[in-house]
Amino acid sequence: MIHHRKALIAILCFLMAIPYCLGQNGTNSPFTRYGFGQLSDQSLGGNKAMGGIGIGLRSNLQINVSNPASYTAVDSLSFLFEVGFTMQNANFSDGKTKLNAKNSSFDYLAMQFRLFRGMGMTLGFLPYSNVGYNFSSTEELPSLSDWDDPTSVTRAYSGNGGLHQAFIGVGYEILPKLSIGTNVSYLFGNFSHKVSANFSDANIYPLARTYYAEISDVKFDFGAQYSLPLSKKSLLTLGATYSLGRDLNAINSYISQQKLNGSVVISDSVTHVRKAFQLPHAFGVGATYEYDNRLIVGADVLLQKFGETRFFGNKGELADRLKCSVGAQYYPDPTSNNFFKQIKYRAGVYYSKPYVKVNGQEAAREYGVGAGLTFPISSKWGWMNQRSIISISGEWVKIDPQIKGVLTENYLRLSVGLTFNERWFVKQKVR
């Protein structure tokens, strides 16, 4: 009972911290000027170090939200509670100038338990996207005649916000070794983009435009997994996911401001347009091979059809996003009580074609390499036990521009995930 009270206190503390976490912004990327911003893959601590794979991954020790069919793997006696954070160092370069920025952000919060035989449930909170940037550029305008003084314009770009999702998911084993599942999420949040122009010529009035959107709607994700034993020690798990593309309920506005003779003239248009924004249809397939409970090797492919969606009412603003991931995990000895043999070693890589377009062209390619460790929390730490674990992963990510005038971005990310595994459903024997 003491264990339960302490776990509940921890859960309540983290839930109370969510409003603060909503105000955090984990990016400084100029690419977040486009689309919904920098997308957050639906992966938790155990997936990040493995290149983000999860469609074919199953575990009774960690939560995998990448495929809701995996929820059936939860131990019948366990209650899992998981929380994660990320710190990153970003470098931006245009070949001449280099900039550096540091960020930290709340990643996720999730809990999982078994409902009935063959059915597991997961509840949680995940970011969907982040918007955060602030940069400017100055250029000289062509003179109308040789008698005119040179005129320069400084354009400033800034944006902030993001979308979040609170979800509830259920996985059900419909046949031995075959599971299906679904996540139903409440997607909500807002983001704004501002562009301003200031001229060196005082006779040219400053101009500013702001684009704002507030979104609140429901998101649906589905998944399936089939586990095929290849021998007494080896197992192949095949997975598939589908996310429903749909119109989003949104309030969007466009505000134009210009100073004329010291006064501000504002043109404001606010509309409630259901079809201004759309979520894409998304398809994913994955497979993992597991040998002797020690070695896991897997691969995922995810396609998000952003190219067919509307953004601020316009089609063709975004491109289809493709991500390919490969990852592995090595577990020295699952039966040993030796601490070092209980450490899990993880590594992975991924390639992604982002959904961002700049001036109608696909803007970049993204590459990532990750590695990490997962180790048990010693029982001498009070109410925690050796079933509870800490996952630490490091990632190097490069966003390589495909067109001129776009910054190269390099990220070093450190992610920490903490999983509490409590035996809540053990029947106590009375002697």
- What integer pLDDT is reported at residue 262 of this predicted model? 62
- What integer pLDDT is reported at residue 1 of this predicted model? 45
- What integer pLDDT is reported at residue 341 of this predicted model? 86
Per-residue pLDDT of 81-99, as tens digits, reads 999 988 989 888 877 777 7
With bands split at pLDDT 50, 70 and 90, how would you rate the model's confidence at 210?
confident
Per-residue pLDDT of 38-79, as tens digits, reads 998 888 877 889 999 999 999 888 899 999 999 999 988 888
Please compute the mean of the pLDDT values over residues 232-249 and round it to a whole number: 95
Please state, in angstroms and rounded to a whole number, the distance separating the CA atoms of residues 354 and 362: 8
- pLDDT of 403 > 70? The answer is yes
Residue predicted with more confidence, 262 or 54: 54
Residue predicted with more confidence, 25 or 198: 198
- Secondary structure element (H or E) that encloses residue 289, with its range: strand 282-291
Rounded CA Rg of the chain? 24
- What integer pLDDT is reported at residue 147 of this predicted model? 52
Domain count, the chain: 1
Residue predicted with more confidence, 198 or 326: 326
Question: Encoding tokens for residue 276?
Answer: 């201004």
Judge whether 192 lies within some domain. no
- pTM of the predicted structure, to 2 decimals: 0.86
- pLDDT of 404 > 70? The answer is yes
Give percent of the chain above pLDDT 70: 82
Q: What is the DSSP letter of 138?
A: E
- pLDDT of 229 > 50? The answer is yes
Please compute the mean of the pLDDT values over residues 371-389 and round it to a whole number: 69
Please compute the mean of the pLDDT values over residues 180-199 and round it to a whole number: 91
Per-residue pLDDT of 279-338, as tens digits, reads 999 999 999 999 998 999 999 999 999 999 998 888 888 999 999 999 999 999 888 878
- What integer pLDDT is reported at residue 289 of this predicted model? 97
What CATH number did the domain enclosing 25 receive?
Answer: 2.40.160.60
Task: Return the top range by mean pLDDT from 162-171, 354-363, 376-385.
Answer: 162-171
395 SS3 class: strand
With bands split at pLDDT 50, 70 and 90, how would you rate the model's confidence at 431?
low
For residue 349, what are the CA distances in angstroms to 119, 284, 344, 391? 32, 17, 17, 17
Q: SS3 for 336-385, per residue? A: CCCCHHHCEEEEEEEEEECCCEECCEECEEEEEEEEEEEEECCCCCCCCC
Judge whether 207 lies within some domain. no
Judge whether 347 lies within some domain. yes
Summary mean pLDDT of the chain = 84
Judge whether 90 lies within some domain. yes
Judge whether 266 lies within some domain. no
Please state, in angstroms and rounded to a whole number, the distance separating the CA atoms of residues 248 and 186: 11
The answer to whether the CB of 81 falls within 8 A of the CB of 420 is yes
The answer to whether the CB of 390 falls within 8 A of the CB of 361 is no
- What integer pLDDT is reported at residue 384 of this predicted model? 43
- What integer pLDDT is reported at residue 149 of this predicted model? 60
Alpha-helical (H) ranges within 177-218 are none
Judge whether 260 lies within some domain. no
- What integer pLDDT is reported at residue 366 of this predicted model? 93
Per-residue pLDDT of 98-155, as tens digits, reads 778 888 888 899 999 998 888 999 999 999 999 988 877 777 766 655 555 667 778 8
Please state, in angstroms and rounded to a whole number, the distance separating the CA atoms of residues 163 and 185: 12
Residue predicted with more confidence, 386 or 234: 234
Residue predicted with more confidence, 361 or 142: 361
Residue predicted with more confidence, 141 or 402: 402
Q: Which domain holds residue 229?
A: 2-30+52-128+165-187+220-246+276-423
Judge whether 11 lies within some domain. yes
Per-residue pLDDT of 263-291, as tens digits, reads 666 666 666 666 789 999 999 999 999 99
Per-residue pLDDT of 386-395, as tens digits, reads 578 899 999 9
- What integer pLDDT is reported at residue 150 of this predicted model? 63
Judge whether 133 lies within some domain. no
